[in-house]
Chains A and B, each alone.
Chain A
Amino acid sequence: MLEMTTRMLAQMDPLEHVVARELFHFEVFGYPVVFSNHMFMVSVVTILLMILLPLSVRGGGLARRGFGNLIETVCVFIREDVARPFLGDRTDSYIGYVWTVFFFILALNLFGMIPTRQIIYLLTGRENNLGGAATANIWIVGALSLITFLSIHISGIREHGLWGYIRDFVPKVPWPMRPFIYLMEIIGALVKPLSLTIRLFANIFAGHILIATLFLFIVIFRNYAVGGLTVAAVVAASLLELLVAFLQAYIFTFLSAIFIGFAVNPDH
């Protein structure tokens, strides 16, 4: 029992908690495609959001109740306080993406905090790879940033036309400096999604590694005092992670709205 509990709580390698694991694989045109636990989490969250969010805001009348009211409050906050200051009159055209990004990242962060693998192991005694923090996977966060990157430039081109967007891409500078400033802005535009990726990935990754490392103290010291302290520290770190889950979803959404806003209203 002790051995089982120890294995359940912590592997000797804290990275075990965040690496992607293969669930199954299949072939597409002769190329192997691996379906990982993180892809499973992304699928679960997508399906849940597609069912839960429309259900929660269905009908309603003047004032919704319960979960629907919560979702509406969050949506109104994001539209009026996050998006509108930067998107202005064009808010309603782009708010769909901003809302989707917020709820998707928040749900992935929160679901990543549930120790699904350990719970299933505890209940059934079977090793499994279900669950995990998908936002601690740099490729998934990178894909989200890539979608934001495309949204920024597609919305800019949609609003101003290709030529107009290219013309307003840099601030007004003396003309000999323009090619150089264009080069810098282009590199800057490519770095922006990178900064979005690193911020979200590193925060979630670091949080999960921290908790896994704290659990290791129980295995290393094997006494009640350290065990008690570790549990208290893990509770504190988990609460911090809860804050980080909301905060990082908010920051990603906020920066996406800002970047789209700058592309839509370059003189803002």
Chain B
Amino acid sequence: MESEAQLTDMDEKKRDTNTVRSSLKWMGAGIEFCGVVSVFAFFGYLLDAHFHTSPWLLLTGFFIGFIGMTYLFYKESKK
């Protein structure tokens, strides 16, 4: 009985450690999100400068990056 209780404690600890670990994988997600959105916005900015459409392609790039990364993170979180 005692060993079962110990086993449960150990399982709980293991589960907690795994939860912490799986959440830590998101540590770099913030910079990645901002980085990708910035790159898309920058592409939009370059195209704006080329086609003289400022600020519409910059905004389009920003929103495409934003929506895409949100979708990608949603898919990653479902794994």
| A residues apposed to B, CB below 8 Å | 81, 85, 171-173, 180-181, 184-185, 187-188, 190-192, 194-196, 198-199, 251, 254-255, 258, 267-268
Contact = CB atoms under 8 A, between A and B. Distances in A.
A173 B75 contact: yes
Interface in B42-69: 65, 68-69
B55 to A, nearest CB: 21
A85 B72 contact: no
B53 to A, nearest CB: 21
Range of interface residues on B (Cβ < 8 Å): 20 to 34
Contacts of B25: 258
A247 B40 CA distance: 32
A59 B41 CA distance: 57
Closest 3 CB pairs of A and B: A191-B35, A195-B31, A171-B75
Interface in B22-39: 24-25, 27-28, 31-32, 35-36, 39
Contacts of A81: 17
Contacts, number: 55
Contact of A181 (B39, B40, B72): B72
A185 B18 contact: no
Chain A contact residues: over half helix, strand or loop, or mixed? helix
B75 A191 contact: no
B76 interface: yes
Contacts of A199: 28, 31
A85 B35 contact: no
B31 A185 contact: no
Q: Which of A85, A173, A191, A196 has the most CB of B within 10 A?
A: A191
Contacts of A267: 79
B27 A191 contact: no
A187 B28 contact: no
Given A81-B17, A171-B76, A191-B39, 13 more contacts: A171-B75, A173-B75, A184-B36, A187-B36, A187-B40, A188-B35, A194-B31, A195-B31, A195-B35, A196-B28, A199-B28, A267-B79, A268-B79
B31 A191 contact: yes
Nearest to A259: B28
A81 B20 CA distance: 12
Given A191-B31, A195-B31, A171 B24 contact: no
20 contacts: A81-B17, A171-B76, A172-B75, A184-B69, A187-B36, A187-B39, A187-B40, A188-B32, A188-B35, A188-B72, A190-B35, A191-B32, A191-B36, A195-B31, A195-B35, A196-B28, A199-B31, A254-B27, A255-B28, A268-B79
